[in-house]
Chains A and B, each alone.
Chain A
């Protein structure tokens, strides 16, 4: 919930943004730290109880260890490992151990497993900081500035994933256009809420049918409509979320990265990924694809790199085999597109060619959502009923 609760606006966003406006420059970061901590404690406690709230210690620990990071330092490597371990233990422990003990009872299953609020996103920001400090691409900043970066609550839970070197100048600058920031910020928040309430939540009545029972009983002609509804819903839901996050940040006078740029209707799958969850795509390129060699290696290695990146992207979206298949599906589409470009050269400028490739991209990305919103067996059942009957 969070962004669609009164508590978020009345107890956190409006008071903190107003206080940030009137606070002296030296105290502004502490306003973010104070309200960010309160936000985490309040919502994490509501979702995962005392242990969930206790995960605030992760931010304290990370901020303290971050003070050791220096260019070319081993502490940075330790920081990277630390953030991946956090994500691995909390998000993937039961998934991977159940794969190890396949068909047997899992003796090391974590019964009370829970996810700290926003772990998938804040660990990426921890990793980025450690990596960029090691590479000398960002300055250390002060402790309160780093705490404000990781505890900036509008983007803490589900992004957009920020970069410290972009965030720091905005944090240090004296916001001057308050009227415009608030007018644009409120408009953006309202847009996000409309997308969430009037589009995403309205489509839930259709997308709830995407289960084995309903798929078996339904007229097969309705199945693509249910999946199309999910495609629209996830866009409205996540772009709505991003609108609220970006609008909330704007109330502080801080601009955070955009996450969507009209992804549906893009001409090919590569353009789609340049416009869908942009901050994640850029993170994956900078911290996985390029370190693997990027596209400056032998062609076969490039295809392997793309598949690795999207396999990991799938796993990041959820600890389940369906997400792995979803990631591989997109990896294969990108490899197919790259191969097509190598063989056929530049795309045709003809409007009909552009329209048909946009339509094909839309259909293929929508087909992929089946693996995102259903478990593997249900998704296979969906396609069997859709294609065979």
Chain B
């Protein structure tokens, strides 16, 4: 169960190509749109305070 959930999160994050738990193309497209909208809203709300990435040298 945990492994499936992890794989699902990895799919949501773009790390995996195959979508566990989602068998129809329509459900994948719906989920992709929903995830993109949520991500874009989060980025929009939190983007005003950005700082440098820790691992960049300068």
Contacts and interface: CB of A to CB of B under 8 A. Distances in A.
| A interface SS class | helix
A360 to B, nearest CB: 20
Interface in A212-241: 234, 237-238, 240-241
A288 to B, nearest CB: 19
Nearest to A250: B14
B57 A247 contact: no
A237 B54 CA distance: 7
A180 B17 contact: yes
B11 to A, nearest CB: 9
Nearest to B58: A47
Interface in A1-58: 1-4, 47-48
A47 B52 CA distance: 12
B13 A198 contact: no
Interface string B25-49: 0000000100110011011011101
A201 B53 contact: no
B39 A190 contact: yes
Nearest to A190: B39
Size category, A interface: 35 or more
Contact of B17 (A184, A193, A201): A184
B58 A238 contact: no
A167 B57 CA distance: 24
Contacts, number: 98
A117 B50 contact: no
Interface string B9-26: 000111101000000000
Contacts of B47: 4, 193, 197
B43 A258 contact: no
Contacts of B51: 201, 204
Contacts of A193: 39, 43, 47
B57 A194 contact: no
B14 A91 contact: no
Given A2-B53, A234-B54, A187 B46 contact: no
Contacts of A262: 6
B51 to A, nearest CB: 6
B56 interface: yes
Given A183-B32, A197-B46, A114 B58 contact: yes
A262 B9 CA distance: 11
A187 B50 contact: no
A187 B57 contact: no
Given A4-B50, A241-B56, 14 more contacts: A1-B52, A2-B53, A91-B57, A117-B57, A159-B55, A184-B17, A186-B36, A190-B35, A191-B13, A191-B39, A193-B39, A193-B43, A196-B53, A243-B15
Interface of A: 1-4, 47-48, 91, 114-115, 117-120, 157-159, 180, 183-191, 193-194, 196-198, 201-202, 204, 234, 237-238, 240-241, 243, 247, 250, 258, 262
28 contacts: A1-B52, A4-B50, A4-B53, A117-B57, A117-B58, A158-B56, A187-B12, A187-B36, A188-B15, A190-B40, A191-B12, A191-B14, A194-B43, A196-B50, A197-B42, A197-B49, A198-B45, A198-B46, A201-B46, A201-B49, A202-B46, A237-B53, A237-B54, A240-B53, A241-B55, A241-B56, A247-B14, A262-B6
